[in-house]
Structure 1
Amino acid sequence: MILIVSCLKKPKAKEAKQHNILFIAIDDLRPDLGIYNNTVVKSPNLDAIGNEGVVFNNHFVTAPTCGASRAGLLTGLLPRDSIDITNEVFSEKIAKQKDSPKTESFVHFLRQKGYYTVGVGKISHSPDGLIYGYGDEIGTEWELPKSWDEMLLDLGNWGTGWNSFFAYSGGKNRTDENKNLKPYEKANVSDEGYPDGLILKTALKKLNELSEKKEPFFLGVGFFKPHLPFNSPKKYWDLYDRNQIKTSPNPEIPKNVNLKSLHSSHELNQYKKGEEKASLQKPLSEHYSKKLIHAYYASISYIDNQVGKLMTELEQLGLSDNTIIILWGDHGWHLGDHRIWGKHTLFERSLKSTFIIKAPQIKKGSKVNEIVSSIDLYPTLMELCGFSKPNRLDGQSLVPLLKFQSPDWSNVAYSYYNRGISVRNERFRLTKYFRENEEEPNIELYDHINDPNETTNIAKQEPMIVQKLLKLIDQGDFGIYKNKN
């Protein structure tokens, strides 16, 4: 087993033990779980966390791409620069501030307060926390150089973190195969026949070690699936009857939109042996759509089983009652919605993701319908742990919602991508694009009471609502699109 380890000088631990924190990040996990009323997907262990905690029904990320979304969550900040909405935000910005006195993430903050911090798998953007390209040798610089006591990844037979991330069974990977692969695989292997099983194995070992420590711990476990390729052991595919799987309820391009708001599904289409190519010209066939959704659901079930084993170990070690558990998907995913297969849009499907918190003394089995953002986690953890939050954070603590104290909640979430800013409130999503030459339409408005699938842009029909929400857009506009017209 190859483990990548960062050993940094440790601040003195606090005498009084705080709550431990288990943070579980699941890549590309939209709210397609039983706890979110999906009656087909098999996710009993993830659902169990929701039944023991608080489920957020309307959680939105700051950007529909992995690195930028994770940066928003970890820093508690909305984007101020164009680099902040790219996957390079860690390598090109945060890592280069390692000599700055500023706290780089909430993990770093907890470490400063005496927590022992361990990351296993993908927590920032890179699968192993190191900076290097997909086909390069393993890097030597850390994306979060001040945050971790240990950063771990079992590379198995795949050799590098990125090869592991795009792994196929038997040690194959997307890069070495030059993408001459299908976007899914069901191999007759054990859970450890793919990297997520190895991530679980490492997390279990580390959890046992952390249980013996005197100081509180933060353990981040970042699973790769259901990110493409949709690969998982065959036994998880066998859980499903494909005839019961439903295709997208909104497979058509929304009315009254500029096609630049959409994309041609390159993330899926780059797999050269896919049976069909997605496009905006027509939906994929029902047969192939169901096969891909089947693969996505099997990947969820694979991760669900890993999380179940992690929860069992936490319970057996006697840590459950003093551990805050965060379950988070880094963004959503279009499964044929709007003829798109992927993320990278400012539509609801790309921005809405799984978010569940289970914490000591918090009411169990509840659901929150207020609009919340990933940037709210940082101040929430500070309050749950009894720390004063840094003044610079953009997010607001979710603790009042967790305790159902009926606060004066803002109900606003901002997202940024594709030269656009989108704001979501209780009823509407308004998106403004800063396109060259102001190509029309550059304003989109969707009514989530009457049109939850965002099938029709009603901006021209509702000018008063647009003007009201544009004022909110202005509040979230930090000038990241420098060459606005």
Structure 2
Amino acid sequence: MKEQPQANVVFIIADDHRGDAIGAFGSETVQTPVLDRLAAEGTAFRNMHIFGGLTGALCAPSRACVHTGKSIFRAMIAKDGSGWVHSNTIRPDVCLMPQRLREAGYRTHAVGKWHNDKASFARSFEGGDKLFFYGMSDHNKVPVQDFDPSGAYPQEREYIASGFSTELFTDAAVGFIENYSEERPFFLHLAYTAPHDPWIAPEPYASMYNKSDISLPANFQSRHPFDNGDLTVRDEKLAAIPRDEDEIRGHMAAYYAMISHMDAHIGKVIDALKAKGIYENTIIVYTADHGLAVGQHGLMGKQNVYEHSVRIPFILRGPGMARGRQQVEIASNIDIFPTVAGLCGVEMPAETDGVSLLPVVAGEKRGVRDIVCSAYRDVQRMATDGRWKLIRYYRSRVTNTGTDTLQLFDLHRDPWETEDLSADPACRGEIERLAERLSGWMKAYDDIMAGVPVFPIAATEGAL
């Protein structure tokens, strides 16, 4: 693939956008014409998974993985999930994607959400607008800050911006593009808070989906079949338990409305690039921090390792890139930084856990990983090779919640993860194979949060 070291980058990251909730990826309900066009003009990865997180607020650790190319166990200042600072503060000695591009001569500019620590933001960006340093807010009352050259960003500088979050951040991004006059390329980091709840898209999008037309997914359940370790987290309280079919359809309609509204505004950013005459020389990246259940498996949130929560969209569109290719090979969100750096002709820091996906983009390899794993708190671990998927559940020694059990799914035959095959003697070999890989993955991070047991193969004995 021909390198385009002077190409601009627009890096768009959404909040809570599930990997399959895009029309181009097979959804027959949600309307995303802009993202569909990006996928048609570029390369999309359909099996991108998040590395995970140690607290219920998965936004922060997931973003840290994206920006550092490192696991949560190596990117953050500590590995103890009992404190918020451990889940959002990036180590000061770790280099971030925008920081590395800034060092390489890119003008780095941020708009929207930055859910990690302010020090990591300050060393990454030399400009910004409408900056939001929290996890969520009322979409019509977003507390933002202007760019602070000192990097301090004290709370007293905050003000409530006028307008809906998606529109507010889009306008700021468009303004940056329209007014950009420097010769050097730019890296624009556009981070939406959509489609995170509250799901209150403006009209006409709020009325775009009628819940009576919404079909419940095949894995809808009235409640999760066992204690997964975090059934009382905030997200799980967004709907009544047991889950009511009509209520879930309403939540799905509202969630899709948020996505379609955001999609339309991404279109405005693309229009600004075209009007500026730089669209063809701009790398556009679209991804999300994690997915969301919204009724699947009896869950509402992202605090689990089912596909609806750990799989995210990843679309690349830019100069010299293959068009209309949808890759099904597995990847991890720690692979995003090395991939973007390679597209920009920028060297990675000496140490990274991620692997560049450029050989896949160029058609030189079918994939760069044969397995991906995810972690959630001290209660869930997952390993998948793209077909077989093993989920290991623990009972927390800290909260005394959770269940010591496992699940096994054949994703080719059962993409909705509805048929647990862990008790099938014929599948014992798949369990042992994935258990061994998961155990090795966990041992690779020997400073995992204290009290979390490594997953030996013997741990499968009682579950067969």
Normalising by the residue count of structure 1, what TM-score does the alignment of the two structures yield?
0.79
**Partner residue of 1:303?**
262
C-alpha separation between the residues in 2 aligned to 1:470 and 1:91?
29
Q: Deviations over 1:228-259 (max 9, x none)?
A: 1001112102323333211232122799x642
Letter in 1 for 2:280: D
Residue 64 of structure 2 corresponds to residue 71 of structure 1: yes
Seq. identity, %: 26
Structure 1 residues 150, 78: CA separation in 2 closer, same or farther (over 3 Å shift)? Answer: same
C-alpha separation between the residues in 1 aligned to 2:308 and 2:353?
24
Is the contact made by 1:68 and 1:89 (CA closer than 8 Å) also made in structure 2?
A: no
Q: Structure 1 residue 363: deviation in Å?
A: 1.0
**Partner residue of 2:125?**
148
Q: 203, 223, 247: which one pairs with 2:173?
A: 203
Is the contact made by 1:434 and 1:481 (CA closer than 8 Å) also made in structure 2?
A: no
Residue 189 of structure 2 corresponds to residue 220 of structure 1: yes
Q: 409, 416, 426: which one pairs with 1:446?
A: 409
1:360-379 matches, cutoff 5 A: 360-379=319-338
C-alpha separation between the residues in 2 aligned to 1:230 and 1:406?
40
Letter in 2 for 1:79: I
Letter in 1 for 2:130: L
Q: Structure 1 residue 379: deviation in Å?
A: 1.1
**Partner residue of 1:28?**
16
Structure 1 residues 459, 384: CA separation in 2 closer, same or farther (over 3 Å shift)? Answer: same
Q: 76, 97, 101: which one pairs with 1:106?
A: 97
Q: 319, 326, 329: which one pairs with 2:288?
A: 329
Q: Structure 1 residue 293: deviation in Å?
A: 0.8
Structure 1 residues 84, 106: CA separation in 2 closer, same or farther (over 3 Å shift)? Answer: farther
Residue 231 of structure 2 corresponds to residue 263 of structure 1: yes
Structure 1 residues 391, 52: CA separation in 2 closer, same or farther (over 3 Å shift)? Answer: same
Q: Structure 1 residue 90: deviation in Å?
A: 6.6
C-alpha separation between the residues in 2 aligned to 1:440 and 1:237?
39
Relative to structure 2, which stretch is displaced further, 40-49 or 405-414? 405-414
C-alpha separation between the residues in 2 aligned to 1:217 and 1:168?
28
Structure 1 residues 252, 195: CA separation in 2 closer, same or farther (over 3 Å shift)? Answer: closer
Q: Deviations over 1:154-181 (max 9, x none)?
A: 7xxxxx7659x42154x499xxxxxxxx
| Secondary structure of 2:390 counterpart | strand
Residue 455 of structure 2 corresponds to residue 455 of structure 1: no
**Partner residue of 2:106?**
115
Q: 422, 427, 432: which one pairs with 2:387?
A: 427
| Secondary structure of 1:58 counterpart | strand
| Secondary structure of 1:234 counterpart | coil
1:125-140 matches, cutoff 5 A: 125=115
Is the contact made by 1:67 and 1:89 (CA closer than 8 Å) also made in structure 2?
A: no
Is the contact made by 2:10 and 2:188 (CA closer than 8 Å) also made in structure 1?
A: yes
Q: 82, 85, 95: which one pairs with 2:79?
A: 82
1:363-402 matches, cutoff 5 A: 363-402=322-361
Relative to structure 2, which stretch is displaced further, 73-82 or 351-360? 73-82
Relative to structure 2, which stretch is displaced further, 301-310 or 230-239? 230-239
Q: Structure 1 residue 91: deviation in Å?
A: 4.8
Runs of 4+ aligned residues of structure 1 deviating over 4 Å after TM superposition are: 83-87, 160-163, 436-440
**Partner residue of 2:210?**
241
Q: 152, 167, 180: which one pairs with 2:138?
A: 167
Structure 1 residues 387, 449: CA separation in 2 closer, same or farther (over 3 Å shift)? Answer: same
Letter in 1 for 2:218: P
Q: Deviations over 1:284-335 (max 9, x none)?
A: 2x22111111110111111011100001111111111111110001111001
**Partner residue of 1:316?**
275
Is the contact made by 2:305 and 2:374 (CA closer than 8 Å) also made in structure 1?
A: yes
C-alpha separation between the residues in 2 aligned to 1:262 and 1:288?
22
Structure 1 residues 484, 233: CA separation in 2 closer, same or farther (over 3 Å shift)? Answer: closer
Q: Structure 1 residue 407: deviation in Å?
A: 4.3
Q: Deviations over 1:168-215 (max 9, x none)?
A: 54x499xxxxxxxxxxxxxxxxxx7312211111111111233x1111
**Partner residue of 1:10?**
none
> How many residue pairs end up in the alignment?
415
| Secondary structure of 1:361 counterpart | coil
Q: Deviations over 1:21-52 (max 9, x none)?
A: 10001110012011111121121111111111
Q: Deviations over 1:95-125 (max 9, x none)?
A: xx2xx4x42x111111111111011001x31
1:269-284 matches, cutoff 5 A: 269=237, 277-279=239-241, 282-284=242-244
Is the contact made by 2:139 and 2:165 (CA closer than 8 Å) also made in structure 1?
A: no
Is the contact made by 1:242 and 1:291 (CA closer than 8 Å) also made in structure 2?
A: yes
Residue 30 of structure 2 corresponds to residue 41 of structure 1: yes
C-alpha separation between the residues in 1 aligned to 2:368 and 2:88?
34
| Secondary structure of 2:200 counterpart | strand
Question: What is the aligned-residue RMSD (CA, Å)?
Answer: 2.7
Q: Structure 1 residue 354: deviation in Å?
A: 1.3
**Partner residue of 2:46?**
57
Letter in 1 for 2:212: N
Q: 411, 434, 437: which one pairs with 1:472?
A: 437
Is the contact made by 1:68 and 1:87 (CA closer than 8 Å) also made in structure 2?
A: no
